Chains A and B, each alone.
Chain A
Amino acid sequence: MKIQQNYKLTTVSATANNNYLWDKLKKRAMSVQELEKIFQHKVDQEIKIEPKDWMPDAYRKTLVRQISQHAHSEIVGMLPEGNWISRAPSLKRKAILLAKVQDEAGHGLYLYSAVETLGTTRNQTIEDLHSGKAKYSSIFNYPTLTWADIGAIGWLVDGAAILNQVMLCRASYGPYARAMVRICKEESFHQRQGFEILLVLSKGSPEQRAMCQDAINRWWWPSLMMFGPKDGESTHSDQSMTWKIKRKSNDELRQQFVDMIVEQAKILNVTLPDPALKWNAERGHYDFGEIDWVEFWNVVKGNGPCNKQRLEARRKAWTEGAWVRDAAAAHAEKRKARQQDKAA
């Protein structure tokens, strides 16, 4: 907050101020329809929308909702995997997992910053998560029961996330797209480490192979659910496509995921728990069975196996960290005052 105020003070020079007023006048003279036309034209021309550009309120709202939901998913997503850091079965695996979960914290940071460019502070965004107003990806409401789950999450969950995120690297909103480019660079390492965990298990003892197959059986369907409701039942999809926030439909992305995973599963020598899974030569894609939408909506509505625990853990970290954040702020204030005293 403080930084932003200083920034304003130093940048509003006389000429900047004139330009700003001129812009404002020009904008007032333009009707909303005209502004919207210019905006959509930019989007169609693949010109990125930047924080200071005019944008429709609904576009801003959609972005805040989507990016903050995405940020929360990164942060809540640290919990199921963090659950196995202390028990990782080798020093190498422990180090890799720590680095991976730490990456997710970094992703959360980039995304909270992107939300801030739209005028919503990080604290506000975080409070919306804690109050239950904001959502996060339902996948993280499933428990990590065995070490193989850490492999399955990397392979399937990060794998699904990557497809979505690669698409978002071209999102029309500049700060979001740029955050996604940074994130995508790290995500491929995430999927690879997950696949590698499973690959070792798949070549291991009978118990390890069973552990591997069991984890895949449990994470397969929830991973397919990550792409959201079917096209046509997804409330925000069409508008997001026109605004080029999204460029592929839920079902397109889901199909892409299935096609990719089926091939990789062959290398792991595992099965996917769907009897309807079959190559369709005519379509050039794999057919697959119907998602259990009752379960999907149940987890979205808060009845998943870990919804309560995940939110509790986040709230607890935040509440118990309050005195630390306060102390840091108080110390910074005192320091500043002391420095000003010295200067005076």
Chain B
Amino acid sequence: MNQTLINYVLHLADNTLILSQRNSEWCGHGPVLEQDIAITNISLDLIGQARSLYQYAATLQGGNVTEDTLAYLRDERAFKNCLLTELPNGDWGQTILRQFFFSTYQHLLYEKLLNSKDETLAAIAEKSLKEVTYHVRWSSEWVIRLGDGTEESHQRIAKALKELWSYTGEFFIPADYETATANEGTGVEIAALQQPWLNKIQDVLQEATLPMPEAKTYMHTGGKTGIHTENLGYILAEMQHLQRSYPGVEW
């Protein structure tokens, strides 16, 4: 059993599940019907990716492990998602910006993962890349719309930028399992993605008439190794409630 690879797959899966869970909070409460549908769609894409990844992690682990035991029966400290994905939705601007940061990162990551020596990961990346391409387009269009739109929308998205920026550095600081899998050729050398990521962010922020934040900002880390914000405990308490209350049954 390759625990390093399992950790890496869980990290990728946790990112998508937790962000899907957050986005799904908008379902039925979006600012306009078309966008309610759009954000729910992204939530659906992400949970689809999470399922493929958890199913793969489950086969790697063997035994009685399933996609659901991985999602529903692990505790906060075992989750390996980046902190950004678990932050509260805030207003539409904050949700959009979080999506834009994440999808841009995920797009670069999956592009590299296409060449993974691990065929399953490469296949999941290939399948997901089409979706992520759309997520990047959709979210960047919204960042531009809000930045360029009205005085109020500009201020709101600028505030979101201030709040979220310090959670983006974590993407590019590899955890042990990322370094190890990158060396094996199954994972991706994540630090190398930072510059292309910054370039894309800068392009879009510029079009949105928003200032590029300081490069040397303090960055929060810890999510990848299970040191989370206080938000994750509540997310899991809610999400896992039925599986925990009625152990071992089918749903």
Binding site for B on A (CB under 8 A): 75, 78-79, 82, 85-87, 89-95, 98-99, 101-102, 105-106, 108-109, 112, 147, 197, 200, 203-205, 207-208, 313, 316-317, 320-331, 334
Could you give, for residues 12-37 of chain B, a 1 whenever the CB lies within 8 Å of some chain A CB and a 0 otherwise?
Answer: 00000100010011011111111111
Q: Closest B-chain residue to A98, C-beta based?
A: B44
CB-CB < 8 A to A147: which residues of B?
A: 242, 251
Contact of B144 with A by CB under 8 A: yes
State which residues 129-182 of B face A: CB under 8 Å: 144-146, 148-150, 152-153, 156
Report whether over half of chain A's contact residues are helix, strand or loop; otherwise say mixed.
Answer: helix
- Considering the chains assembled together, what is the distance between the CA atoms of A99 and B241 in angstroms? 21
Q: Closest B-chain residue to A147, C-beta based?
A: B242
The answer on a CB contact under 8 Å between B44 and A89 is no
The answer on a CB contact under 8 Å between B24 and A86 is yes
Most chain-A Cβ atoms within 10 A of its Cβ — which of B28, B146, B243, B250? Answer: B28
Could you give, for residues 34-46 of chain B, a 1 whenever the CB lies within 8 Å of some chain A CB and a 0 otherwise?
Answer: 1111001101100
Binding site for A on B (CB under 8 A): 17, 21, 24-25, 27-37, 40-41, 43-44, 47-48, 50-51, 54, 67-68, 71-72, 91-92, 144-146, 148-150, 152-153, 156, 238-239, 241-243, 246, 249-251
The answer on a CB contact under 8 Å between A323 and B33 is no
Question: Measured between C-beta atoms, what is the minimum distance from B143 to chain A in Å?
Answer: 11
The answer on a CB contact under 8 Å between A324 and B27 is no
Known A-B contacts A91-B51, A320-B91, A328-B149; the reply to A99 vs B44 at CB < 8 A is yes
CB-CB < 8 A to A99: which residues of B?
A: 44
Known A-B contacts A91-B71, A105-B37; the reply to A79 vs B28 at CB < 8 A is yes
The answer on a CB contact under 8 Å between A327 and B145 is yes
Among candidates B33, B243, B246, residue contacting A208 with C-beta atoms closer than 8 Å:
B246
The answer on a CB contact under 8 Å between A95 and B44 is yes
Question: Measured between C-beta atoms, what is the minimum distance from A29 to chain B in Å?
Answer: 43
Question: Measured between C-beta atoms, what is the minimum distance from A40 to chain B in Å?
Answer: 35
The answer on a CB contact under 8 Å between A325 and B41 is no
